[in-house]
Structure 1
Amino acid sequence: MNMILSEVSESLRRKKMMTFFLMLGILVFLLSVILIIISYVHLQEKESSVSSFKGLHVYRISDSLYEDSEFKAYLDEPEALDRLKHYYTYLEENLNETFIHVSQQPLFIPTDQIEIDESFLEGYEEGNPRPIYNDEYTVKTVTLNEQALNLFPIQVMEGETLTSEDFDHSNAPGQIPVLLGAAYSEYFEVGDHIKADYLFQEFELEVKGFLKENQFVSSPSEPEVFLDRNIVIPAQQFAEPNSEEEEGFQERHYFNLIWGAIYSESERDAVEAALEEAKAASRFPHAIMMGSPTTPLGQLFEAIAESIYWLLFIATVLFIVCIFGISMMLRKKIQDNYKNMMIHLISGGSMRQLFLYSVAEIAVLVGLPTILLVLVIMGFNVPLLVLMVIFLCALALMILAIIPLYLHFRRLPVSRLLKREE
C-alpha cells in the first residue's frame, strides 16, 4: 500500500498543473451539485408551504377613482365612508371567494424607542433607504387581512400569532397587535409596546410574537416578500369615527384595504359576477378588476426552476469534463510510461498492480476535493442528504473514470511490448 501511495504521489507531482485543474473542476462540480440540492429543497419547501395556492387564479381588484376630482366627489356623497366599509366587509365575509389584501404601507417609529440599521428601513431593497426624518424611522411593514393570514404559511417562533379579535380595533382602541420579523427579536420582546404613526394617525403597537426566519407572503405585484425585517399589521376594522380627523384617517385606511386580489378556481366571468354582487350589495360602484388573471407565485417558481436547470446543465458539463480529463490524463501517462511499465512487468510485477496504481490515482484526484468540501460544509449544519449525495456523485465520478481506463488496459499489447523491451 505504501508503494502504491508513493507512486501515486510522485505521478501527481509530475503533472502539477493538470492535477490542480482537474481537482478544481471536481470541486466546482461538487459545489454545483450542492447548489442544485439546496435549490431543489428550497423549491419543494416553497411548494409544500403554499400548497393552498394550487389551482387558483389571481384577479387583481381596486377602486376606479383615479383622479383627485373623482376621489373628492365620492367622499362628498352621503354615507361615503359607510358604503366603503360595507364593501370591504363584503369582500372579507360574503364574497364566497378568497379576497387577499397584502400591502406595504410604511410606518413611522420615533428614534428614541429603538436604534436600528438601514436594512429595516423602507426602500432598502431598492438601494434607497429612507433617511431619518423628524427623528423618526420609516420602517417596512406588511398589512394583511384575515384571509391572507389564514392562506399564507406564517409561523411564529416566539409568542402568539394573530387571531380574529386582533383585526377588530374596537377590542383595544388606539392599540394594534402586531407580529415582528425574526430580525426584530434582538430589539424587542413579546409584550413590548411601540409608539408609531400609521397613515398620519398615532397608534401603540403591541408585540404579540416574533416570526420564524425566512417567512414570506406574496402579492400580485411582488411574488415574494420576506418578513424578517418587517412589521406585520392586521388590517384593522374600525367603529364609527368620532371626529373629522378620525374620519379622514378611516377613509385613507379603507381605500388602501380594498386594493387586493381575489384568489379563485373560477373563471373570470364568475369572479366578475361575484364582484358585481359585492358592488351592488354595498352600493359602492367604483370597484374594477384589473388586467388578466395570473398564477400565484408563478414568477417565483419559474425563476427557481430556471436556476435549477442551469445549475444542472453546468454540473452535467463539469461531470463530463472531469471524467474525460481524468481518463485522458491517465491514458497519456500510460502511453508516456510504456518503458517503465514493461520494466515493472519484467521484474515480476503484474498488470493488476499497474491498474491498481491508476485506480489509486483516480481515488486521490476525486477523494481529496471531496473530503475538503465535506469538511468545509459540515460547519454549516447541512442535511445528511447533502453529504450522501456528494459522496455518491464522487463515487459515480470515480467509477465512470475507471471504466475507460480498464478498457484501455485490456487493449494494451503487453506481449508485443515485452518482446520489444527484450
Structure 2
Amino acid sequence: MLSIQRFMALASLAFALLLTSRAAEAGYAHYIYDASSGKVLASENAETLNHPASLTKMMTLYITFEALKARKIRWDDEIVMTPNAASKIPFKLGVKAGQTITVREAVYGMAIRSANDAAAAMGDHLGGSEERFGAIMTAKARQLGMRSTVFRNASGLPDEAQVTTARDMAVLAIALIRDYPKEYQIFSQRSFTFRGRTIKGHNNLMYRYPGMDGIKTGFVNASGYNLASAVTVNGRRLIGVVLGGKTARQRDNRMAELLDQTVPGGGGLPGVAVASRAQKRSAEGAVALATEMPIPSERREITVGVPAKAAATVTPYASTPVSPLAEIASANTQAGGADLWRIQISAAGSRSSASAVLEKAMPLLTDFGQLAPSVEGSYSGRQEVFRARLVGFAGREEATRACSVLKARSIDCFVVR
C-alpha cells in the first residue's frame, strides 16, 4: 500500500514540475466571488500565476482537518518539531528541534499566527517530508478544482516553483468553509494562548470589517502582500482574494474597496467606507458565519467561473511516517517589492543566528503594523552571510523611526530599500 502511495505522490510531483514551466508573473490580481449565487463579481488577472506566500497554510490546514476527520491524527496528538521545521524563519512558535507540539497548537499557530515552523512540522508529520507533503498538497488542489496551483512546501516560504492564482485561492477558501465549517471558525480568532504566552494574529482587516470572519494573510518579497477573505453581507457569502499588494495596508484597503463596490444592495459604497466602521470583537466572541454556506454530503470539485479540469486521485497523507528530508535548499527572498522600505538588523554567519535576531526585534515593533521577516543569504568572497531584515515600511521616515526604537534597545539597524 505504501508503495502505491509513494507512486501517486511522485506522479503528482512530476505533474507539478511540468506545470511550473510557466514562471510566476508576480503581479497584482484580485477575485471576488459570490458563493451564494455562484457569480464572479470582480476579477482582474485572476488566472495569472503568483506566489501564494502564507496563503499556502490554508491547504496545509485543509489536509490537517482531513486527517483529523479520518482519525489518522487527534487534536491532542504530539508531533515532533523536526530540524527542518525548527529552522524556519519567523513568524514561528519557536519550539526547539526534537521537542513536540500538539496538533491543536500547530493548527492554531498556522491559522492565527501564520507560524512557519508549525506548518513545516505538520508537513513533515503527515507527508513524511515537506517535499513529499508538497506533492500531496498539489494533488489535493487538483481534486478541489485548483487548476494552476503547485505547492512545494507547507508554509509558503519562498520557492520559485510554488505558484497559484487568485481564482485558485478562492476555490480553496470555499472548500475550507464548505468541508470544515467548525474548524474554519479558528480563522476568526484574534489570538490564542501558547504555553503561557498570548500570541496575537495579524489579519487586521478582519478585525474591522463588519461580517468578515477569515481567512488568511501572506507575504514574501516575490509575491507582495496577499489576502484571502470571507464575509457575509446582506445574507450573501462573498469570497475575496487580493494578490500582489504593495503594503499590508494598501492590500487591506483594496480588499475593502472591492467588497464595498460589490456588496449586493450595498449602494456602491466608495473606497473603504465599510471598512472604516470599526467593529470590536473579542477572540472568544468573533463572528463565525461559516455554517451559513450549504454543506454537501460529499466532497466535490469546486467550479468557479469556468469549468475545472478533472480531479486527480491521491492518498491524502502518508500512512506511516518516514524520515524528513533536510531543510529545503533555500528560504531566501526573491526579487520583488522594490518599492517597499525595509530595515536590516543583522548580517550573521548562519541562518539560525539571523532568525534569532529577528525574533528579538519583532516584538518591539508591533506598532508598525504587519511586518514581514526576511533572511537573505549572499556570499562575501567565500563566506556566506545571512542578512536579517524586516520588510513592509511605507516610507523612509517610518523605517527610520523603527530603527530608532530598536537602537534604544541596543539593537543596531539601518534603512535599506
**Structure number with larger C-alpha Rg:** 1
Q: Which has the higher helix share?
A: 1
Q: Tell me, yes or no, whether TM beats 0.5.
A: no
- Scaled by the length of structure 1, the TM-score of the pair is 0.24
- Scaled by the length of structure 2, the TM-score of the pair is 0.24
